[in-house]
Amino acid sequence: MKLIIITILCFFFQIVNGQTLKQLYVPNGSISYLSSGEGETIVFIHGGQEDYRVFLPQVELLSDKFQVVTYSRRYNFPNDNEIQPEYNVKTEAQDLKILIAMLGKPVHLVGHSYGGLIALEFAVGNPKMIKSLTLSEPALVSWLNDIEGCESWYNSVQETLIGETREAFSTQDTTLIMKELFEFFAGADIQDQVPAEVLEMLKANLREMEALVNSPSGFKSSSPGEVKSLDMPVMILTSERTMPMLICTNAKLIEVRPQATHHHLLDAGHEMWMTNPKELSEFLSDFIIK
């Protein structure tokens, strides 16, 4: 697991972006986005402690056929917005609505991890603004308590990811904060094994994690009933080497949307968009075109 995480982080750091970011004003701040190509529009929403750069491989692979938009959410690099109280997926969905309205047409929406929660929140409230919905292992933490055998993971998120990381943020000790995050997501504190440049990049996205763990409803998500009722094509992407709690929620999501297109990647983990960019880009292109 440690080696896999380090490999992913190094790959992430090596991605080079030669294009110019644009700015879009949202309530209490602005967001940075990149748009490339023409045609049907795909909007990518990154996960926690990530930013727009996660999807640069998809910009390169898909912008010859589509307009590809990847953006950094309000508290992620390079944005510098002040954290607002009551931050949650609704806050992010409101920002997303401004972005899609600016684009001027319905889009194919792709949400990864925490970005998947935002995509679902947006889809439930704004179905006419979406042509299709792709979800890669959305962090459906609020579902865990109702999945038999998975309740302990809900408690782990509340006590470890949220509680202990919140305490770490109160110390303003970045090393301690990163330790808590690595131990939850990677199973061990691997800061001394990660290149300094990569570590600094992850630290650049800590503002979002601070907002999330201090929110009273940070992981509140759309209900299974709301997800089931969505009237649009849905594609679900899951991986073999993902976190146990995501195995629980992935299975529930597929149960809720049994008719969805589903691809299970045997040679990937949670950060599949970085490790399997060509394969996933082909899945997405086929899904949109069919």
pLDDT in the model for residue 15: 52
Counting Cα atoms < 13 Å in the Cβ hemisphere of 38 gives 0
**Where do we find the tokens 């998975």?**
150
CA distances from 52 to 17, 31, 69, 215, 266 (A): 10, 10, 9, 23, 26
What is the CATH T-level fold of the domain 2-289, as seen in this structure? Rossmann fold (3.40.50)
Q: Please, are residues 21 and 33 in contact by the beta-carbon 8 Å criterion?
A: yes
In angstroms, the CA 122 to CA 265 distance is 26
pLDDT in the model for residue 7: 56
User: pTM for the whole thing?
Assistant: 0.94
pLDDT in the model for residue 99: 98
pLDDT in the model for residue 14: 54
Q: What is the mean pLDDT of the chain?
A: 93
pLDDT in the model for residue 146: 95
Q: Which residues of the chain have pLDDT under 70?
A: 1-19
Structure tokens at 185: 């997501």
CA distances from 36 to 17, 57, 271, 282 (A): 12, 12, 23, 18
Burial class (CB in 10 A: 0-12, 13-18, 19+), 120: buried
